[in-house]
Structure 1
């Protein structure tokens, strides 16, 4: 019996559901990085970064190459970078909509007598 595609997608998105992994993928979207280069950018210790890189390797989202003692990581596919870009666009729209909703809520919740409340009440008798 094969695993349904929706379950595989859920596992894929679970893999992306960690801030360190997202940050690593963002860095690798720019170019390949050595582990030592990523450490100050992700803000975790070497063991934690290694653990998160291993998760990304197991899901075949990143690959490694070794040059002397240095291990370099890169994305397996440019579509990973595209997915992160699309997520940013979606989040920008969601946050923009939330900001508009918040502004509407604030203006409708202004107490009578306040500048916002007086402006709202103008024209009504």
Structure 2
């Protein structure tokens, strides 16, 4: 069971390991959006957007719902929003540590 969980986590984080995918998730944390809406906000090519959305769908991180001739994407699990917030806090903590180290070095 433990190995299965570790594999799931590794696959999950691998799916998050691209800046465009993170940007997509940040946008979807604000609400559902179509591919065209995501593209216009990100300024990315259609093929790149489709490729990244496909990866997120394959890992069950986002879901696409067909509405007429367009697909509306949303986060599959609202806890993704919390995960992104935690990642931001970890990043901020890292920056604080770097800044403190630089301050100590400049004092020497």
Please, what TM-score do these two structures have when normalized by structure 1?
Answer: 0.80
* Higher-RCO chain (CA-CA 8 Å, sequence separation at least 6): 2
In structure 1, runs of 5+ residues without a counterpart are 109-125
Q: SS of 2:60's equivalent? A: coil
Match of 1:12 in 2: 12
In structure 2, runs of 5+ residues without a counterpart are none
Higher mean C-alpha deviation, range 51-60 or range 7-16: 7-16
The list of structure 1 runs, each at least 4 consecutive aligned residues, that deviate by more than 3 angstroms after superposition, is none
Question: How many matched pairs?
Answer: 108
Work out the CA distance in 1 between the residues paired with 2:17 and 2:42: 15
Match of 2:73 in 1: 73
Structure 1 residue 68 displacement after superposition: 1.7
Q: SS of 2:17's equivalent? A: coil
1:64-117 deviation line (CA, Å, top 9, x unaligned): 112222211000111111110111111111111111111211232xxxxxxxxx
